[in-house]
Amino acid sequence: METLFIKGGRKLGGELDIVTAKNALLPILAGSIISDKNVILKKVAKFSDVMYMVKILESLGVEAKFEGDTLILSPKHAYAHVVKDEYTKKVRSSVFLLGPLLSRFGNAKIAYPGGCNIGNRPINLHIKGLEALGVKIEEKHGYIICDGKNMSAGEVHLDFPSVGTTENLMMASVRLKGVTTIYNCAREPEIEDLQNFLNSIGCKVSGAGSSTIVITGVESFKDCEYQPIHDRIVAGTYLIACAMCGGNILLKGCEKKYNQALIQKLKQSGAIVEDLGKDIEIKSNGKLKSIPSIETQPYPGFPTDLQNQILAMQTITKGTSVVVENLYESRFKICNELLRMGADITIKDRMAIINGVERLYGANVVASDLRGGAGLVLAGLVADGYTTVEDIYHIDRGYLSIEEDFCKLNAEIQRIRD
């Protein structure tokens, strides 16, 4: 088992390149099976979730080869349209393979992805959207079985701007003769990135980033070389870390425009954030004011994937703050561990009320999910004394090597392998 060992209390300094986005790479990898043409992806961050998605593609007959951080995918000989439960349990977001498999093979069969520690993660919106495009769907023996024989272009209205559903339907529509319009789409930057990738293999998609996306079916595709956008959640995590610990860091290759909601909150708390075009610089004296209210919303609102990290920050800011989690039903598991570090938090349903304390104290804590684990690392960096974080495999799903990143930023943190 691996743990992170952290000595808190150091100011952060230095600079860091931000890696490509997990939540852009995953749908783009799924989309690589849509055509039989080669796909070269540049600067692929080898998060464990990404490496599992590559394994899923290989199980479907796609040839995958890394040359450094360049990934060469040859989907020409892809033959299977069944994704087994050993994979969907590891990468629940593999549900958005339904769209690409339907586009490529006309049918798809995926083991039910199930929930995770932050919520049930239902897929009813995916199913409803695909049925609106004429897909016949059966759910039996733990599998979702899709028959795309009678699929046709048309209009789909999403009940909620679901990121994965938007991505699934975009990819399910790219070969449908005619025009498909999806309304009430999610507007995350990763969706715009998926649109740019799909267009680079020959698709005709427009409108991503707005709530209406239009897809015109095509029949021919081309080889492509593509570099996904940077990871705004990794960047946001490190901006929050510097605001909490104090110091001055430069994050390279990450545009401010993708983190506007967070940056506004950090400025409100007293940190100084400079927009340097392709880079962001943050300065902080570590003595922050509480942010009265933070509510997670679909993009461009405050991202749920940074909620645990900014909640950790609120535990040591001066004053009282309220964090409301609107996207997931159990994304406050971090709070039990923060209480053990001396935080003052009260949970009422989807609301956390935090009274800032003078300091946190190092403790042995356990990560229960990806972003909660990242939040515990941030708490350890600012706490008095030593903190160990267990079950860090959760964190490795979305941070390439969080301890190496923080060592580059002057923190005292190491991974213990026993």
Backbone φ, ψ for residue 48 (5° rounding): -60, -35
Distance CA 115, CA 340 (A): 27
> What's the closest the beta carbon of residue 23 comes to ligand EPZ, in angstroms?
3
Least CB distance to ligand EPZ at residue 66 (A): 21
How far apart are the C-alpha atoms of 333 and 329, rounded to whole Å? 11
User: Shortest Cβ distance from residue 87 to ligand EPZ (Å)?
Assistant: 14
Binding status of residue 125 toward ligand EPZ by CB under 6 A: yes
Q: Are 31 and 171 in contact (CB under 8 A)?
A: yes
Nearest approach, Cβ of 257 to ligand EPZ (angstroms)? 17
Task: Name the pairing type of β-strands 107-111 and 136-140.
Answer: unpaired
Binding piece for ligand EPZ, criterion CB under 6 A, among 155-163, 268-276, 335-343, 378-386: 155-163
**Does 208 sit near ligand EPZ (CB under 6 A)?**
no
**Triad 31, 45, 114: Cα angle to 5°:** 55
Side-by-side strand order, sheet with 107-111: 82-83, 107-111, 143-147, 136-140
192 binds ligand EPZ (CB under 6 A): no
Binding span for ligand EPZ by CB under 6 A among 20-28, 306-314, 333-341, 375-383: 20-28
Considering only residues 364 to 383 of the shown chain, the ones binding ligand EPZ according to CB under 6 A are: 370-371
- Residue 20 engages ligand EPZ in binding (rule: CB under 6 A): no
d(CA 393, CA 370): 8
Contact between 160 and ligand EPZ by CB under 6 A: the answer reads: yes
| CA 92 from centre of chain | 12
User: Residue 212 corresponds to which tokens in the numbers above?
Assistant: 């209406």
- Residue with smaller CB distance to ligand EPZ, 198 or 360: 198
Site string for ligand EPZ, 262-291 (x = CB under 6 A): ------------------------------
Tell me whether strands 247-252 and 212-216 are parallel, antiparallel or unpaired. unpaired
- The piece of 118-126, 175-183, 316-324, 381-389 that touches ligand EPZ (CB under 6 A) is 118-126
User: Is residue 350 involved in binding ligand EPZ (CB under 6 A)?
Assistant: no
Told to judge if 185 belongs to the known catalytic residues of this protein, a careful annotator would answer no
Q: Kindly identify the residues of this chain, within the stretch 169-188, that bind ligand EPZ according to CB under 6 A.
A: 186
Q: How far is the CB of 75 from ligand EPZ (least distance, A)?
A: 20
Q: Is 189 in the site for ligand EPZ (CB under 6 A)?
A: no
Instruction: Select from 164, 207, 247, 372 the one that contacts ligand EPZ (CB under 6 A).
Output: 164
Q: Is the peptide bond before 100 cis (omega within 30 degrees of 0)?
A: no
Number of residues that bind ligand EPZ (CB under 6 A): 24
State which of positions 315-334 bind ligand EPZ (CB under 6 A): 327-328
Radius of gyration of the chain (CA): 21
DSSP 254-266: --GGGGHHHHHHH
Please, which residue, 119 or 385, has the CB nearer to ligand EPZ? 119
Rounded CA-CA distance 126/169 in Å is 8
In sequence order, what are the beta bridge partners of 225?
40
The tokens describing 1, both together, are: 């088992």
∠ CA 205-107-49, nearest 5°, is 70
- Least gap, CB of 165 to ligand EPZ (angstroms): 5
Structure token pair of residue 129: 């959207």
| 123 contacts ligand EPZ (rule: CB under 6 A) | yes
Q: Counting every residue, how long is the chain?
A: 418
Smallest gap from residue 27 Cβ to ligand EPZ (A) = 7
Task: Give DSSP secondary structure letters for 15-44.
Answer: EEEPPBPHHHHHHHHHHTTSSSS-EEESS-
Do 360 and 384 contact (CB within 8 A), yes or no?
A: yes
Among 121, 333, 408, 415, binds ligand EPZ (CB under 6 A): 121
Tell which one of 163, 224, 240, 245 touches ligand EPZ (CB under 6 A): 163
CA-closest candidate to residue 42, choices 224, 181, 225, 190: 225
Which residue lies nearer to ligand EPZ by CB, 288 or 402?
402
Report in angstroms how near the CB of residue 120 gets to ligand EPZ at its nearest: 6
Q: Which is nearer to ligand EPZ, 22 or 265 (CB)?
A: 22
Under rule CB under 6 A, residue 119 binds ligand EPZ: yes
d(CA 380, CA 389): 8
Binding site for ligand EPZ (CB under 6 A): 22-23, 26, 93, 119, 121-126, 160, 162-165, 186, 304-305, 327-328, 370-371, 398
Catalytic residues: 116
